Amino acid sequence: MGLSIARIDHVVLHVRDMESALAFYTDVLGCRVERTVESIGLVQMRAGASMIDLVPGRAPGKPDARAHNMDHFCVRIDPWDESAIRAHLSAHGIEAGETKSRNGAEGEGPSIYLDDPDGNMVELKGPSY
């Protein structure tokens, strides 16, 4: 019997400025801090049924501040109200890309790309058509 993935469990991001990263993920994206492990600087945030973990610094072998640890990650937004989403992002000074139809876990639907304070690309995904 093979494995069956139900959802994204968590992603781990290396960040340069924990305060800016926490503000982005809590204030802009609506995550909430669920747990911290001070000994390693880990902050775990609840993102719906999944987790986003932040750890300080860059991954070993990635000394360039522009180097990314991943291409992007995608979070499903529900309800999807593009005008409200863009107004919210704008109020936080976040520049977002154009809305395009892209494929995701639920199929083809609207999505918007933006960058977090460390240059990690985040995709906000709406429902499938």
Q: Give domain limits for the chain.
A: 10-58+71-125
Those residues of the chain that have pLDDT short of 70 are: 1-5, 58-70
- Rounded Cα gap, residues 14 and 31, in angstroms: 17
- Residue 78 dihedral angles phi and psi, to the nearest 5°: -145, 120
CA proximity to 124, closest of 30, 43, 17: 30
Does the pTM exceed 0.85? no
Spell out the CATH class of 10-58+71-125: alpha beta
CA proximity to 80, closest of 101, 95, 52: 101
- Rounded Cα gap, residues 42 and 35, in angstroms: 8
pLDDT at 119: 85
pLDDT at 65: 52
* Count of C-beta atoms within a 10 Å radius of residue 79: 8
- Residue 91 dihedral angles phi and psi, to the nearest 5°: -60, -25
**Strands across the sheet containing 121-125:** 72-76, 121-125, 107-115, 100-104
CA proximity to 33, closest of 20, 47, 18: 47
